[in-house]
């Protein structure tokens, strides 16, 4: 299956996180060549690997697959007050970007 946008997103997120292909491969328990095949759109990661990638990168599987165009922020483990603070920061950044 050829899904170039999925591979591109994996590459972008891996580099944003400062991970090499080898480091990501180690975290996933696969080889560097498998990561390369994902990033080059030659193979689509299987379901279990997609779940691991979403956890590593803090995004949804829908985002990785291109079904969702916006990123989400995982707030698991945060208090309601902390979630509200993050929401306020995001709103302020959006207002600033509109100026």
Element (H, E) at 26: helix 21-28
Are 35 and 24 spatial neighbours (Cβ–Cβ below 8 Å)? Answer: yes
CATH number of the structural domain 4-65: 1.10.260.40
Of the pLDDT bands very low, low, confident and very high (cuts 50, 70, 90), residue 85 is very high
> Using one digit for the tens of pLDDT, what is the confidence trace for 50-79?
999 999 998 888 888 888 777 777 788 889
Give the residue extent of every domain in the chain.
4-65
Q: Is 17 helix (H, G, I), strand (E, B) or coil?
A: coil
Please provide the size of the chain in residues: 99
For the residues 93-97, what does the mean pLDDT come to?
85
**pLDDT > 70 fraction of the chain, expressed in percent and rounded:** 95
């Amino acid at each position: 299956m050829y899904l170039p946008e999925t591979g591109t997103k994996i590459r972008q997120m891996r580099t944003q996180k400062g991970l090499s292909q080898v480091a990501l491969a180690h975290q996933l328990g696969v080889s560097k060549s498998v990561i390369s095949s994902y990033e080059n759109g030659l193979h689509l990661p299987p379901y279990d690997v997609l779940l691991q990638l979403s956890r590593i990168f803090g995004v949804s599987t829908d985002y990785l697959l291109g079904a969702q165009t916006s990123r989400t922020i995982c707030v698991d483990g945060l208090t309601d007050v902390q979630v509200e603070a993050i929401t306020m920061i995001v709103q302020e950044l959006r207002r600033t970007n509109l100026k």
